[in-house]
Amino acid sequence: MSDNTIKIMFLGDIVGKPGRLAVKNYIEKLENNNKPDFIIANVENASHGFGLTQKNYNELLSYGIDCFTSGNHIWDKREIFTYIDTADRLIRPINYPVNTKGRGYGVFDSLKGKIGVINVLGRTFMNSYEAPWKLLEYAISEIKKDTNIIIMDIHAEASAEKICLGKYYAKKGVSGIFGTHTHVQTADEKIYENFCAYITDAGFCGDVNGVIGMDYEVSINRLKTLMPERLDISDSGVSQINGVIIDVDVLTGKAESIKRINEEIKIKEEK
C-alpha cells in the first residue's frame, strides 16, 4: 500500500462480551499486511448489550481501537455521565440537544495523519432528535481545517434515510459513510460520487446464533407473548465480525476502495 493511502477499518455495533472478545481475537490475528492504520468501532451495545461502562471502554482501548462511535443506547449505563467528557476516544451522536454531555465529532491522530470522525442519529422511526443538517455542515467545515479525511457513522433505522444522507454528504467531501443500528450487514458497499465509501449498515460484532446479538429464546417469547421479558446476550461460543475496510488517499480524502468484513470466530471464555 502506498504511503499516500491510509487503511481504515470500521466495525459494526459490538454487542456484549461475545462481541468484545471476537473483536479482540480478530484484531490480534490480523497479519501485518492487513492491519489497518486506524480502527473505528460502534460501542453503544458493548456492555451486556446496552450502553458502555468505563471498564469496557478501557478494555476496548487496549485492543487497539482508535475511536468509538455510538448511538441512542449510549446513555443506558448511568456511569457514562461520569466519564464521557474525559473519554477522549469516544463520541456520541452530534444531534442531541445543546449542552448534552460528550461531543458529536472529533479529530484523531494516526501514523499517517489526522482523521475526522462524526456520529449522527437518524430521525425516521427513531426518537425526535435535532435536525442534523447545520450541525453536520459545521462539523465538516471544522474538521476540514485539520484534515480532508472524514468518516461518518449514521446510526439510523431506515435504509432510505441512510442512503439519502450518504449521497448528500458524499458531495460534501466525506471520505466514508457507514450505517449502524440494525445489526444486519447490507451488501451494497460502493463508492459514491467517485469519492465516498458507503454501506447502508456495517452489521454487528457478537454471537452468531442469537437474534442480532440477543438470546433467541427470549426474543421469540417476546414476539409470541408480547410480554416485556428482559433481553439477554446470546453466547453460543461462536461470534461474527462485521464491518468494512477502506483505503483513502491521505491528501485528498478520496476513498479508493471499500470491502466488507464478514467472518465467524470461535470464542474461548477468558478466565
For cell 473505528, the residue is 40
Interatomic CA distance for residues 102 and 131, integer angstroms: 18
Q: Tell me the backbone φ, ψ of residue 190, rounded to 5 degrees.
A: -165, 175
Please pick, among 73, 155, 181, 183, the residue that the annotation labels catalytic. Answer: 73
Interatomic CA distance for residues 37 and 19, integer angstroms: 21
| Residue 48 bears catalytic tag | no
How many CA atoms lie within 13 Å of 83's alpha carbon, on the beta-carbon side?
16
Catalytic positions are: 73
